[in-house]
Structure 1
Amino acid sequence: MNGVSRFGDAETHRRRVLRYRAGAYREEEDVIATEFALTLHVNGEEFATLVCTPTYVEDLVYGFLASEGVIRSVDEIESVQVSLWTGTARVQTRSGVALHPAIYNKRYIGSCCGKGRQSFYFQSDALTARPVADAVSLSADDVFRAMDLLDASSGLFEETGGVHVAALVRDGQLVLARADIGRHNALDKIYGHCLRAGESLSGTAIAFSGRISSEVLLKVAKIGVGAVIARGAPTLLAIDLAEELNITAIGFVRGRSFNVYSHPWRMSDVAVEEATERA
C-alpha cells in the first residue's frame, strides 16, 4: 500500500463538537468515522468508486471484484496497487480482459430456481449469486453467542456510532470481524480475506450489526455462507432471496429472542422441539 491519504490510514479522527446534554450545551471532543473514496481501476479502465473506511483495503478490493463476478479466484489477479494518497486501487488481471462497467449497473430480471417467479438482480448478481449448499447447524444459543461475538468486535461502532460490523463465526468462535461505513464493504472485506487466506467457509455463519437488506443477503450468498444473523429485521425481498438461495436468515435478535425468516431446517433445536411435540 503506497503512501497515505489526507486522512492518513486511520479509521477514526477526533473533532470538536457542540454537545447538548442535561439541558445544556458544552463543547467536547468526539470520535468520527473516516469516510474515504477509493476509485478502482481494472486493467487500466475505471471500474467503480467505493466509499469506505480506509482499512483492509486490499481485502475490500478482492472481495468486491469477486462478488461482482470480475474474478473467480485470487489466481486471476496479477497485481494490486493501492494508493491512499491518490485514492486509487489499480488491479491487473492475468486475462487482461477489457471491462464494460455499464453492464454492472443494469437490472436483470430472471426466473430463479425454476419457481416461475421473477426476481430482480443486478446482472452481476445473476452471474455470481448461487444457492448455498453448506449445511451449517445452529442452535438458539449459537445465535446469541454469534451476536455476543459481534458486539465484542464492535469497538469502532462503540467509538463512532457510524459504521457497520460483520463477523464470520464458526462453532461459537470468532473467525474474523470487519467494520466499515458501508455495510456491503464490511462483507466484502470478509470475503476478500477468506479468498486471499484460503479460509474454509464450511460450517460458518455471518453475524451482522444492521438489517438484512437484499444487498446484504446477496453478498452472503456470493461469499457462500449458509446463515446470516442480524440485529435488525430483513426486508421482504431479502426473505424471498434467502428462500431461493438456500440461506437461513435470522433477524431481530433482541435479548433472548429472535426470528427465523427462512430455511429453519438449519436450526438444530427446531428439529428437537418438533420431534418432542410429535412424541
Structure 2
Amino acid sequence: MDVSVRKKIIRFENGEKREQTAEVAVEYPLTIYVNKQELVTIVCTPEYLEDLIIGFLTSEGVIRGISDIDNIEIIEATGHAYVTANFVNQFNAKYRSKRYITSCCGKSRENFYFQSDASLLESYNETEIFIHPKQIFERMDEFENSSATFHQTGGVHNAGLTTPDGLICSRMDIGRHNALDKIYGYCLKNEIPVLDKIVIFSGRISSEILVKTAKLGSGIILSRSAPTELAINMAEELGITTVGFIRSGTMNVYTNGNRILMD
C-alpha cells in the first residue's frame, strides 16, 4: 500500500503563488481483533503492519510476547487484522471494549498507558552500552538519511534501532508511538536482543516515548528534539540515558551521562 500520495496545492513563495503538487502522508485505520473480539482501531501508516500489531500488543501488556501469538491475518483492503492468541493477559481484559487510537500525540493513548507499566518496567542502571559523541552524530546522520518519507511529506515520525557502529533498522509512522511499536515488533519477530542497542527517535521524548523505550529494553535514547520533565524524571529513576537536540555537532545529555564517552 502507498504510504504517501500526491495532492494539488497552491504554494506561496517570495510574494508569488503557483499551483504544484506535494507529497502527503497517508492515514490508515487498522482494526485489531484478538480471538475474534474487537480490541482497538489504530490510525497508522500502512506498512510493517504485522510488526506494529506484535509490538503494540506486547508493549501494552495484552500478550506477554510473540510466543503467545498463533496466527495473524491482515486484510489490507478492509483495514482489519485478526490475531489468534494462545494467551491473553486477563489484567488487560478491560481493553477488549473497543478503543480508537488516532495518529495525534496526546490523550488518544491514555487508556493504554500507565495501566500496567509499573510491573513491566525495569531499571537499566547496569546496562553496559556506551557511545562516543562522534558516533552519536554519525548515527543521527545515518538515521536521517534513511527517513525518505519524512523528507518528502514532513508528516511522519521516525524511530530506529542502532548500535554505536551502525543503524539496524528504522520505521516511520504518522503516530510516534506506532513507529516505536514497529521497532519492538521487528525485534520480537527476529529475536534481536535490545539491552545492548540504542533507540533513536525523530521527535520529542515524552513520558510515553520513554515508557516505550523502557519496554523495548534499551538503556539509551537519542533524539533531535528534547525530553519533557516527566520523561527526564522517569529516565533518572530507571537509569536510561537521554540525549536530545542532536544537531550540527551539538547535543544535550539530560540523564545518565556515564554512557557517553566524553574522552
The normalised TM-score by structure 1 is: 0.84
Distance in 1 between residues matched to 2:64 and 2:139, nearest whole Å: 29
The equivalent residue for 1:53 is 45
The equivalent residue for 2:109 is none
The equivalent residue for 1:21 is 13
For residues 171-210 of structure 1, the C-alpha deviation after alignment (integer angstroms, 9 at most, x for no partner) is 3201000011011111100100000011122421111111
The 1:231–1:103 alpha-carbon spacing in structure 2 relative to 1, beyond 3 Å, is farther
Q: Is the 8 A contact 1:104 1:122 kept in 2?
A: no
For residues 51-110 of structure 1, the C-alpha deviation after alignment (integer angstroms, 9 at most, x for no partner) is 1000000000000011001222211101111112221111111136663217999xxxxx
Q: Is the 8 A contact 1:210 1:232 kept in 2?
A: yes
The equivalent residue for 2:95 is 101
**Which has the higher Rg, Structure 1 or Structure 2?**
1
Distance in 1 between residues matched to 2:165 and 2:207, nearest whole Å: 26
Match of 2:235 among 242, 267, 274: 242
For residues 194-236 of structure 1, the C-alpha deviation after alignment (integer angstroms, 9 at most, x for no partner) is 0001112242111111111111111000000110000011000
The 1:91–1:145 alpha-carbon spacing in structure 2 relative to 1, beyond 3 Å, is same
Distance in 2 between residues matched to 1:127 and 1:202, nearest whole Å: 18
Match of 1:81 among 70, 73, 85: 73
**Quick check: 129-138 or 196-205, which moved more?**
129-138
SS in 2 for 1:175: strand
Match of 1:152 among 145, 161, 168: 145
Residue 189 (1) aligns with residue 185 (2):
no
Q: Is the 8 A contact 2:69 2:83 kept in 1?
A: yes
Q: Is the 8 A contact 1:69 1:127 kept in 2?
A: no
The equivalent residue for 1:134 is 127
Instruction: Give 2:166's aligned amino acid.
Output: Q
Q: Is the 8 A contact 2:159 2:200 kept in 1?
A: yes
Deviation at 1:246, TM superposition (A): 1.4
**Structure 1 residues 1-279: aligned runs within 5 Å:** 9-95=1-87, 99-101=93-95, 122-132=114-124, 133-269=126-262, 272=263
For residues 217-267 of structure 1, the C-alpha deviation after alignment (integer angstroms, 9 at most, x for no partner) is 110000001100000110000001111121100001121111111111111
The 1:97–1:65 alpha-carbon spacing in structure 2 relative to 1, beyond 3 Å, is closer
Deviation at 1:166, TM superposition (A): 0.9
Task: Give the unaligned 5+ runs of structure 2.
Answer: 100-112
How many residue pairs match? The answer is: 247
Instruction: Give 2:62's aligned amino acid.
Output: V
Instruction: Give 1:37's aligned amino acid.
Output: P
**Quick check: 88-97 or 38-47, which moved more?**
88-97
Instruction: Give 2:165's aligned amino acid.
Output: G
The 1:27–1:225 alpha-carbon spacing in structure 2 relative to 1, beyond 3 Å, is same
Distance in 2 between residues matched to 1:97 and 1:152, nearest whole Å: 39
The normalised TM-score by structure 2 is: 0.89
Distance in 1 between residues matched to 2:120 and 2:60, nearest whole Å: 7
Distance in 1 between residues matched to 2:224 and 2:32, nearest whole Å: 31
SS in 2 for 1:28: strand
Runs of 4+ in 1 over 4 A off after TM superposition: 102-105
Q: Is the 8 A contact 1:68 1:128 kept in 2?
A: no
Instruction: Give 2:169's aligned amino acid.
Output: L
Distance in 2 between residues matched to 1:248 and 1:103, nearest whole Å: 36
Percent identical pairs in the alignment equals: 43
Cα RMSD over matched residues?
Answer: 1.8
SS in 2 for 1:71: coil
Instruction: Give 1:181's aligned amino acid.
Output: I
